[in-house]
Structure 1
Amino acid sequence: MLDTLIIGAGISGLSLAHNLKQNQKQILVTESQGRVGGNITSNQAGEFLWEEGPNSFAPNPALLKLAVDVGLKDDLVLADRKLPRYVYWQGKLIPVPMSPPAAITTNLLSTSGKLRALFGALGFVPPLVGKPEEETVAEFFQRHLGAEVTNRLVSPFVSGVYAGDVNQLSAQSAFARMVNLVDVGGGLLAGAILSRRGKPKPKPDPNLPQTKPGELGSFREGLQMLPQAIASRLGDAVKLNWTLNELRRTPEQNYLATFDTPAGQQQIETRSIVLTVPAYVAANLLQPLQEKVSQALREISYPPVACVVVSYPKNAFKRPLDGFGNLIPRGQGVRTLGTIWSSTLFPGRTPEGWQMLTNFIGGATDLEIGELEEEAIAQAVQKDLSKILVKPEVSPKVLAVHLWKRAIPQYNLGHQQRLATIFAGLEELPGLFLSGNYLDGVSLGDCVRRGMEKATEVEDYLAVN
């Protein structure tokens, strides 16, 4: 009899398992693939080291603590936080303004666009027409900061984080902090001031690596080091190539899970269970147990996104790679969503004389990418790079083309209502929990934070059941 069975050995499941194991719980983590890490996919060929899923993380305290706990403190690498971000607009790479003085002088916005954003930030905002229950990201930012900020800054940011569509994403779900600022202060600037007033500054933990705002992190041999280190600590509590086929309740109100495994069919009984798989996988597993929860999970869309990693000799570039990378707003005649200048962000991951680019293409505004062959996807990216960064006559060394058929969950309109339906339905299934990036944050740090929080929920349940 297990205390907790965890389905999925991505970073959500592993961080949850780590926290439960520290408190002496009898757990098991099962994974249908032959490796841990989920979407985290680090690869190496010769002196090239690259990522095909998440590329970095914002080093929040929860993630740093987890890294230290599993012995990765000395393997942490941090990118230069001063590296500029660029937006490709009207044929030029323009730095994203990262400070008030830069916002005043930037060429990315016109004078009228800057004034519109300023007045909007101060709270001079047109009222909601018809008072809809929720706004799209485009509607929210156009109302508060104007069309230029929305099209030239917010839209490419949404492409980079969610591979999403600003006309479909819910502002309340995808930009909850920004919406809360308006609720607190009546405007973005007033809300920011009021939310900071009286809030004590958190004291840094001397046991954790000290980081600065804006820094991005990875590990010496790539992000894969984190899930591998957690799994190593968990040992035999992690089972690979175990596919969950059926989940049902026992007369004693426990859960009985039936798996296909390399050793044949296995059944596991557990007091509690946590599904950390994607929403569409959880939907199939829960359909026999709770139809409403299953249907709400099924409504969360995951558009296709391809990650294309290429490398060029240094003399192949039209300009120095002196930044984090570039994002491309829709409507600029470029299909690629954005490019991370990987060898600048984390030096030492290419042979001498080479530079590496990690490109993302597809998403909610380009669903057709999921139907293309790898060669066609690579050619589309090369065509875009020749417009922006690379001399057209130079061919790349293609290191990887990884098509994620279902990539990043979309927090589209109605997301909060879907979550309310899910959590209401779960009340009929005590001891069953969900944890995943379709809930309240898609970043690596969000997944680790959620794993810690979910461990507390599970322990509270076990304490009284």
Structure 2
Amino acid sequence: MTNVLDTLIVGAGISGLSLAHALLRKTNGTSPPEVMVTESQNRVGGNITTGSQGEFLWEEGPNSFAPTPELLELAVDVGLKEELILADRQLPRYVYWNRRLHPVPMSPPALVSSQLLSLTGKLRALVGVLGFVPPPVGSHFSRQDGEETVTQFFDRHLGSEVRRRLVQPFVSGVYAGDPDRLAARSAFARVVKMEALGGGLLAGAILSRGKQKRPAPDPRIPKTRPGELGSFRGGLQVLPETLATQLGDRIRLNWTLDRFYPSENQTYIAEFSTPEGDRQLEARTLALMTPAHVSARLLKPLQSQMAEALAEIPYPPVACVVLAYPKSALKGDLRGFGNLIPRNQGIRTLGTIWTSSLFPGRAPEGWQVLSNYIGGATDPEIGEMDEEQIVAAVHRDLRQIFLAEDVSPKVLAVHLWRRAIPQYTLGHQDRLDRIEAGLRSLPGLYLCSNYIDGVAVGDCVRRSREWGDRIHSQLQDAGKT
């Protein structure tokens, strides 16, 4: 060991890199804090994985991002403002139902005319939106400690038809999850808070909007509109790679954290396996930006109850399958964001992003790139299949939905994420409370990952900024910055 770090960050995904960036901005006219980021892989970015081949460009993890203020500010800070691209928000989203692609209704007039929902389903949803909703009752709520699953919450508010045809495919698209297992207050926290605020979804939405504090617009930040999705000209991986370039030698790749423990000096000693042999680092604060199961392993010797809570968070397997087809083989022109598929439609694939329709420059002329996601909590068997079997399953689904003639696809990527997206299942908030209680016995240790309060890229950036404020405050209180 040499000098003591102010902050050691374990994990160079977008969360860890954003945290390092946030901490290094807090100089207050003094020298920046001593920060180091370690990563067990030989690359930065975590689940953000951009691939390319010739004129094809695609994503194998997150496909785009909602342009949140924190994410846009980060992009501008690191010099990527001119590389930002935004998809046309007018592009429709689709749900595949009864062998047809139906546009998702995005406005009240569109909902009235939509053929995705029956008249009965629309009326039932309207009654629920207006607040005529029965209270949660039944013995199952007692067995669930008063929590509702996503299925129970939306059945009660909007009816089973809306839940099956709109909510369930949305859950598949965001979490690759099972609405019968996910906790509504964790997976749909904002919607549940709206209900609590107004007694119904419409009243709650109106009241919560009135309570929102809108900061003064930053002239540096590009203006965006609701419904837009963003990326970069060179793909999402441009952001973590740019952050890593600016962090320079503060990053150590191929460093695997074997264990850590508190020292007598109120610091943490971290022991790593590296290509150069075993190494030790000492830090005043330690941030684990690792998945729950990795953090559980590291914490088991120090705080067994916290480790147990972390180990209970499931991560189902999800495969991203990127296929390209000649446009001449499709039933028609694909113009839109993509489509989601409810689970009872005889289609195994969860959903498809129409990649080359969403952003320009993602495919050569005459080709259509489709990024498909398959597996998840309702289909964990995908983790036992080989690449050829997975491609065959996805191609079979696409042939039914999109293809006018049976042509073999150009396979650009098959990426099986064996532990993909953390599931906010029933009891998730209790697990987070147990984790928070355990952290009180380990001052200076921070856990900041997407199993906490949001899995999107923008959530990771927002959360890292918040944790950066907390870490900076602790270092200030200790007189270290």
TM range (shorter): over 0.9
Cα distance in 1, alignment partners of residues 245 and 230 from structure 2: 21
Within 5 Å, give how 1:313-462 maps onto structure 2. 313-462=326-475
Shift of 1:348: 1.3
Cα distance in 2, alignment partners of residues 305 and 354 from structure 1: 25
Shift of 1:370: 0.2
Shift of 1:196: 1.9
Q: Secondary structure at the match of 2:285?
A: strand
Q: Is the 2:150–2:181 contact (alpha carbons within 8 Å) kept by the matching residues of 1?
A: yes
> Residue type of the partner of 1:29?
V
Match of 1:234 in 2: 247
Cα distance in 2, alignment partners of residues 185 and 18 from structure 1: 38
Match of 1:125 in 2: 133
Cα distance in 1, alignment partners of residues 209 and 39 from structure 2: 42
Shift of 1:186: 0.3
Q: What CA deviation, in whole Å up to 9, does each residue of 1:198-255 have, x standing for no partner?
A: 5454432111111111110000100000000111111000000000001111111210
Shift of 1:461: 1.3
Shift of 1:296: 0.3
Q: Which of the residues 252, 277, 282 maps onto 2:290?
A: 277
Q: Is the 2:330–2:405 contact (alpha carbons within 8 Å) kept by the matching residues of 1?
A: no
Match status 1:6 vs 2:30: no
Match of 1:19 in 2: 22
Q: What CA deviation, in whole Å up to 9, does each residue of 1:252-296 have, x standing for no partner?
A: 121000111111111001101000010000000111111011000
Cα distance in 1, alignment partners of residues 208 and 374 from structure 2: 37
Within 5 Å, give how 1:139-288 maps onto structure 2. 139-197=152-210, 199-288=212-301
Q: Which of the residues 113, 117, 121 maps onto 1:113?
A: 121
Cα distance in 1, alignment partners of residues 103 and 209 from structure 2: 28
Q: Is the 2:322–2:413 contact (alpha carbons within 8 Å) kept by the matching residues of 1?
A: yes
> Residue type of the partner of 1:272?
T
Shift of 1:21: 1.4
Unpaired runs of at least 5, structure 1: none
Q: Is the 2:12–2:37 contact (alpha carbons within 8 Å) kept by the matching residues of 1?
A: yes
> Residue type of the partner of 1:343?
S
CA distance change for structure 1 residues 172 and 198 in 2, over 3 Å: closer, same or farther? closer
Q: What CA deviation, in whole Å up to 9, does each residue of 1:404-456 have, x standing for no partner?
A: 00000000000000000000000000000000000000000000000100001
Q: How many residues align?
A: 465
RMSD between aligned residues = 0.9
> Residue type of the partner of 1:96?
V
Match of 2:97 in 1: 89
Match status 1:101 vs 2:101: no
Q: Is the 2:317–2:377 contact (alpha carbons within 8 Å) kept by the matching residues of 1?
A: yes
Name the TM-score, length of structure 2 as normaliser.
0.96
> Residue type of the partner of 1:358?
S
> Residue type of the partner of 2:115?
N
Cα distance in 2, alignment partners of residues 200 and 411 from structure 1: 28
Share of identical aligned residues, percent? 64
Cα distance in 2, alignment partners of residues 330 and 369 from structure 1: 15
Cα distance in 1, alignment partners of residues 11 and 33 from structure 2: 18
Unpaired runs of at least 5, structure 2: 27-31
Cα distance in 2, alignment partners of residues 348 and 245 from structure 1: 42
Q: Secondary structure at the match of 1:271?
A: strand
CA distance change for structure 1 residues 102 and 202 in 2, over 3 Å: closer, same or farther? farther
> Residue type of the partner of 1:64?
L
Q: Secondary structure at the match of 1:151?
A: helix
> Residue type of the partner of 2:153?
F
The more displaced of 244-253 and 355-364 is: 244-253
Cα distance in 2, alignment partners of residues 251 and 391 from structure 1: 70
> Residue type of the partner of 2:17?
L
Q: Secondary structure at the match of 2:37?
A: strand
> Residue type of the partner of 1:428?
S
CA distance change for structure 1 residues 426 and 305 in 2, over 3 Å: closer, same or farther? same
> Residue type of the partner of 1:283?
A
Q: Secondary structure at the match of 1:245?
A: strand
Cα distance in 1, alignment partners of residues 213 and 40 from structure 2: 44
Cα distance in 2, alignment partners of residues 146 and 177 from structure 1: 19
Q: What CA deviation, in whole Å up to 9, does each residue of 1:88-139 have, x standing for no partner?
A: 0011100000001001110011101000000001111112113541100000
Match of 2:81 in 1: 73
Cα distance in 1, alignment partners of residues 453 and 369 from structure 2: 32
> Residue type of the partner of 2:364?
P
Q: What CA deviation, in whole Å up to 9, does each residue of 1:27-56 have, x standing for no partner?
A: 100000000000000011111010000000
Match of 2:55 in 1: 47
Cα distance in 2, alignment partners of residues 350 and 313 from structure 1: 10
Cα distance in 2, alignment partners of residues 461 and 200 from structure 1: 27
Name the TM-score, length of structure 1 as normaliser.
0.99
Cα distance in 2, alignment partners of residues 110 and 25 from structure 1: 59
> Residue type of the partner of 2:270?
A
Cα distance in 2, alignment partners of residues 154 and 327 from structure 1: 10
Q: Secondary structure at the match of 1:197?
A: helix
Cα distance in 2, alignment partners of residues 356 and 202 from structure 1: 39
